Amino acid sequence: MEEKPYEEIILIDKPDNMSSFGVVARVRRKLRDRFNKKVKVGHTGTLDPFATGLLIILAGRATKKSDEFLKKDKEYEATVYLGKTSTTGDIEGEITETSNIVPTEAEVKAACEKFVGEIEQTVPAYSAVKINGERAYKLARKGKEVEMPTRKVTVYALDILSYKYPELKIRTHVSSGTYIRTLGEDIGKALGTGAYLTALRRTKIADYDVKDALKLDDYML
How do the domains of the chain map onto residue ranges?
7-70+207-219, 74-205
| Single-letter residue type at 91 | I
7-70+207-219 and 74-205: same fold?
yes
Q: Give the 3-state secondary structure of residue 85.
A: strand
Q: Write phi, then psi, for 115 (nearest 5 degrees).
A: -105, 15
Q: Nearest-5° angle of CA 15, CA 9, CA 66?
A: 95
Q: Which CATH number fits domain 74-205: 3.40.30.10, 3.30.460.30, 3.40.640.10, 3.30.2350.10?
A: 3.30.2350.10
Render pLDDT for 131-143 as a digit per residue (tens, 0 to 9). 767 776 776 677 7
Long-range contacts of 34-43, Cβ-Cβ distance < 8 Å, separation of 24 or more: 35/6, 39/6, 42/66
Per-residue pLDDT reduced to its tens digit, 22-48:
999 999 999 999 999 999 999 988 898
Residues in Cβ contact with 29 at an 8 Å cutoff, skipping those fewer than 6 apart: none
User: In sequence order, which residues have a C-beta less than 8 Å from that of residue 217 and are 6 or more positions away?
Assistant: 15
Can you tell me the distance from the alpha carbon of 148 to that of 165, in angstroms, rounded to the nearest whole number? 31
Q: Tell me, yes or no, if 48 is annotated catalytic.
A: yes
201 phi, psi to nearest 5 deg: -135, 125
The average pLDDT across 173-177 equals: 95
Identify the active-site residue in 13, 33, 48, 67: 48
Q: 210-219 in b/e burial notation, b at 16+ Cβ within 10 A?
A: beebeebeeb
DSSP state of 123: P
Average pLDDT of the chain?
Answer: 92
Q: Is the pLDDT of residue 90 over 70?
A: yes
Whether residue 56 has pLDDT greater than 60: yes
- Cβ atoms of residues 65 and 58 within 8 Å: yes
- DSSP 8-state secondary structure symbol assigned to residue 116: S
Q: What torsion do the CA atoms of 105, 173, 180, 55 make, to the nearest 10 degrees?
A: 140
pLDDT band at 1 (very low <50, low <70, confident <90, very high): low
What b/e string do you get for 147-174 counting C-beta neighbours within 10 Å, with b at 16 or more?
ebeeeebebeebeeeebeebebbbebbb
User: The domain at 7-70+207-219 falls in which architecture?
Assistant: 2-Layer Sandwich (3.30)
